[in-house]
Structure 1
Amino acid sequence: MRHPLALFLLIAVTLTYCVAIALRAQHPAWAYVAAFAEAGMVGALADWFAVVAMFRHPMGIPIPHTAVLAKNQTRLGQGLADFIDRNFLSAHYIRNKLAQWDAAQWLAQWLQVPHNAQRLLQPVLATTRFGLEAMDDRKVRAFFTRNVRTALQQIDVSSSSAAILDSLTAQGRHQQLLSDLTTQLAKAVENESTQQHITQAIAKELRALRYLALDQAAARLTTRKIVNAVARNLKDMGESPEHPMRQRLEGAIQDWISRLKADPELQAKTNHFRDELLEHPGLNEYLEQVWSDLLRWLVQDLSQSDSPLAQRLEAGVSHLGRELAHNPELQHWVNAQVQDLAPRIVEYYRPAIGRHIQQRVGEWDTRELIEEVETKLGKDLQYIRINGTLVGGLVGLVIYSLTQWVIGG
């Protein structure tokens, strides 16, 4: 018995009742004491029955509507699941709570604490190191290489290339890039160092003029003419999208895109090139060696207590926190994403959470459940019985007193 006080009180009012009954003839006050003790016994026994009936059959007798908790464990689980679902998982409740929480500011402060950055990255780095060590195994590497090659062989290179080029050239978005590129090329051609290289190349080819000492002079004259012509054309191309050479280049690009989409012969050639490249033994051996070296370097780095990569990642996390703390627009975006995404995630998993709660409560061992509840609520249940004894006794005393007053009146 964990809480014997209620039992001691019941024994006390029982003994009081016996003494009062025995001494009732000696003084009228003992009758009032007996009335109090009698009603106290009734109240104590009634509350004892009610408390016990919640958990088990009183004295082992299968009285109807007793052992309530054991008989309604499934309903308890359903009720608990419904209560949590209704009061904690509703989208309206989640949105209201999130509206009161500045998630971005909390995240910014959390990320700036060095210990938090380490806590965030340690499991990620440990998992990464384990995965890298596993990937360095020959069988795993062969499996990975084989499946990557198979996946790459499923890619339609011609269609993918056409889609990429379509995206790059849509609405003339590549024209500015061409303008910048041709302008930079014109500047490069006009550069003195570039001209010197061209001069030397031309002079080397004009060997017949060397005996007349005309090779350098002819080279310089030729270079100047070539440079001026090339630079002028490049500059004109950069300044005018309507330049004939720009138009021819644009036509060639569009023709290439169309052929990639519709020319079976070109499609077959590009896919054949893809297969030859993937099956090339030298390329595969080279890629495997690069892959092994990369894995070995990463594993070695991550195995160090003062890993440079880990330190850079931790510094990056802290920097991200500082940037977020001083960027109101980014904070607004983060809060908006949290307020939009969190309710949808909870709403999606809401039925599963309810089913999990109901299932877990249903799987609880009934005896352990009852013992756990009694342990947690034992003190309060004891005071229910104590209150039943005292309140019952006082009510009995009042009723007896009123009865005597009415009879005596």
Structure 2
Amino acid sequence: MPLISSPRPSDPRAIDLRRMKRVALGCLLASLAGLIVSLGMGAQGPWAWLKAFCEAAAIGGLADWFAVVALFRHPLGLPIPHTALIPQGKHRIADSLAEFVRDNFLHPEVLLQKLEILNPAERLGQWLREPVNLAQVTGSVRTMAVEALSLLNEQAVRRAIGEFLVARALSWNATGTAASVLDVLTKSGRHQDVLDGALSKLRDYLATPEVRALVAARLVKFASTQWPKAIKLVDTIANVDKMADSLSDKLALQLVEEVQTALSQPDHSVRRQFDDWIHEFIERLRHDPEFASEVNAMKDRVVQSDDVRAYLDGVWTEVRATIEQDLRREDSVLMRHLDQSLAALGDRLSRDPALVQAINEHVLSAAGRMVGSMREGITRHIATTVKDWDDRSLVRQIELSVGRDLQFIRLNGTLVGGVIGLLLYAVTILAQR
């Protein structure tokens, strides 16, 4: 696998490397030329000194050339042992590099110590207290939210929401919930408030002229159907409609009075009967499997009805439209709440050392777990990636990075070798005297 970034022909590093190679090669060739000239001149007198310098310089230059080339490739293409060290030892280098990163950069103690010094909670608070930063966060969140809404598959989301809600509703034990709610209401006496409301509505309903007229009409119709002859006879004596109106008024009045009595007396028989009925209903919900099954079956039929399905399909459409419409407004309610919440968090972090400490502890704990779980994986990833690199690309990248300095080693080897040659020649002359 080639490296992600291959060197460009116009890479300044490549230009410098070529220039330094020419300089180092020029020095080596100059030392060889000087050696040849000094030998040709008999290597006597000054030429002997030149020979000593150039001979040692050539040896040093050739040795360093071999050493530098052997790092990256086989010198002169000859498969000499222990040459082309980098491509030959790529797997070992990959493992060593991965272990180095693991032990020096991904060690939990090192990272946690850096995080503790960083004090992320305090820095977060300082960052959030800057209005520019808040605007940046809310702007980014707004953009990402709008993009996310536009990328969502409308039909898939509707189906997923519908299936989720229906599944939860079908698994819901309606009888248990109803029994618990009714039990709470009865213990606090709130069921009597419900009864009061119903009785008040009934009283007001019975007191309306429309209801009385309806009752009178029903009385006349019923009597005419059941006793037609008697009604005709009575009608010759007195107006049946007026009698029905009078009777309906009296019935309504009696019912209203009875309802009013029930409303005013906490121990009225209607209330006691209602109490008994509620408690009996709760017991049936809890202990009557057949009744509970019927209630849950009714709940399931309602949940699975076409009307409910249609409503659930439209829930996401309405929610999405509302959210998107709000996000596109300059005075978005959601973004305003987000901005206020973040600003409040930043302000509190500046005033609450306990919160800062708690957040830092959570961050350190999470970082420790994350590093512990990812450390070996990252190490393997580094090693595998380096091992998969193309040999030529790897060599080229390393050579571009350090090759210029290595050419200085060649150049220094040539010059220093020459100087050492002069010193050794001088020592030899002194020793011979």
The answer to whether TM tops 0.5 is yes
| Cα distance per residue 1:308-342 (max 9 Å; x no partner) | 38944443343233222222243332212111111
Residue type of the alignment partner of 1:135: E
Displacement of 1:46: 0.9
Displacement of 1:165: 8.6
Q: Decide whether aligned partners of structure 1 residues 276 and 56 sit closer, same or farther in structure 2, where only a CA change above 3 A counts.
A: same
Residue type of the alignment partner of 1:114: A
CA distance in structure 2 between the partners assigned to 1:333 and 1:161 by the alignment: 43
CA distance in structure 1 between the partners assigned to 2:73 and 2:51 by the alignment: 32
Contact 2:179/2:286 (8 A) holds in 1: no
Which of residues 362, 365, 372 in structure 2 aligns to 1:337?
Answer: 362
Q: Decide whether aligned partners of structure 1 residues 294 and 163 sit closer, same or farther in structure 2, where only a CA change above 3 A counts.
A: closer
Q: Decide whether aligned partners of structure 1 residues 380 and 251 sit closer, same or farther in structure 2, where only a CA change above 3 A counts.
A: farther
Which residue number in structure 2 is paired with residue 278 of structure 1? 303
RMSD between aligned residues: 4.5
Instruction: Say whether 1:377 aligns with 2:395.
Output: no
Displacement of 1:266: 5.0
Which residue number in structure 2 is paired with residue 240 of structure 1? none
Which residue number in structure 1 is paired with residue 95 of structure 2? 78
Which residue number in structure 2 is paired with residue 144 of structure 1? 160
Residue type of the alignment partner of 1:127: A
- The correspondence of residues 126-141 of structure 1 with structure 2, limited to 5 A, is 126-131=147-152, 134-136=153-155, 140=156
Which residue number in structure 1 is paired with residue 65 of structure 2? 48
Normalising by the residue count of structure 1, what TM-score does the alignment of the two structures yield? 0.72
Normalising by the residue count of structure 2, what TM-score does the alignment of the two structures yield? 0.68
| Cα distance per residue 1:32-88 (max 9 Å; x no partner) | 332222111111111111111111100100000111111121222111111111111
Which of residues 295, 301, 316 in structure 1 aligns to 2:325?
Answer: 301
Contact 1:109/1:321 (8 A) holds in 2: no
CA distance in structure 1 between the partners assigned to 2:337 and 2:38 by the alignment: 83
| Cα distance per residue 1:123-179 (max 9 Å; x no partner) | 343123211xx214xxx36753674367337x5322x9759998x99xx9x79x976
Instruction: Say whether 1:401 aligns with 2:417.
Output: no
CA distance in structure 1 between the partners assigned to 2:144 and 2:331 by the alignment: 12
Which of residues 162, 171, 187 in structure 2 aligns to 1:156?
Answer: 171
Displacement of 1:96: 1.0
Instruction: Say whether 1:360 aligns with 2:381.
Output: no
CA distance in structure 2 between the partners assigned to 1:45 and 1:251 by the alignment: 107
* Secondary structure of the corresponding residue to residue 89 of structure 1: coil
Contact 2:161/2:316 (8 A) holds in 1: no
Which of residues 14, 31, 37 in structure 2 aligns to 1:13?
Answer: 31
Contact 2:53/2:418 (8 A) holds in 1: yes
Displacement of 1:388: 1.4
Q: Decide whether aligned partners of structure 1 residues 100 and 370 sit closer, same or farther in structure 2, where only a CA change above 3 A counts.
A: same
Instruction: Say whether 1:123 aligns with 2:138.
Output: no
* Secondary structure of the corresponding residue to residue 92 of structure 2: helix
Instruction: Say whether 1:316 aligns with 2:337.
Output: yes
Contact 1:9/1:386 (8 A) holds in 2: yes
Which residue number in structure 2 is paired with residue 237 of structure 1? none
Residue type of the alignment partner of 1:57: H
Residue type of the alignment partner of 2:61: A
Q: Decide whether aligned partners of structure 1 residues 282 and 117 sit closer, same or farther in structure 2, where only a CA change above 3 A counts.
A: closer
Q: Decide whether aligned partners of structure 1 residues 130 and 40 sit closer, same or farther in structure 2, where only a CA change above 3 A counts.
A: same
Displacement of 1:380: 1.1
Structure 2: 5+ residue stretches without partners: 1-17, 213-244, 268-273
Displacement of 1:114: 1.3
Contact 1:43/1:389 (8 A) holds in 2: yes
Residue type of the alignment partner of 1:6: A
CA distance in structure 1 between the partners assigned to 2:280 and 2:372 by the alignment: 53
Looking at CA atoms only, which structure, 1 or 2, has the larger radius of gyration?
A: 2
348-357 vs 52-61, which moves further: 348-357
Which residue number in structure 1 is paired with residue 122 of structure 2? 105
96-105 vs 196-205, which moves further: 196-205
Contact 1:157/1:274 (8 A) holds in 2: no
CA distance in structure 2 between the partners assigned to 1:250 and 1:19 by the alignment: 123
Q: Decide whether aligned partners of structure 1 residues 270 and 341 sit closer, same or farther in structure 2, where only a CA change above 3 A counts.
A: farther
CA distance in structure 2 between the partners assigned to 1:291 and 1:127 by the alignment: 14
- The correspondence of residues 84-99 of structure 1 with structure 2, limited to 5 A, is 84-99=101-116
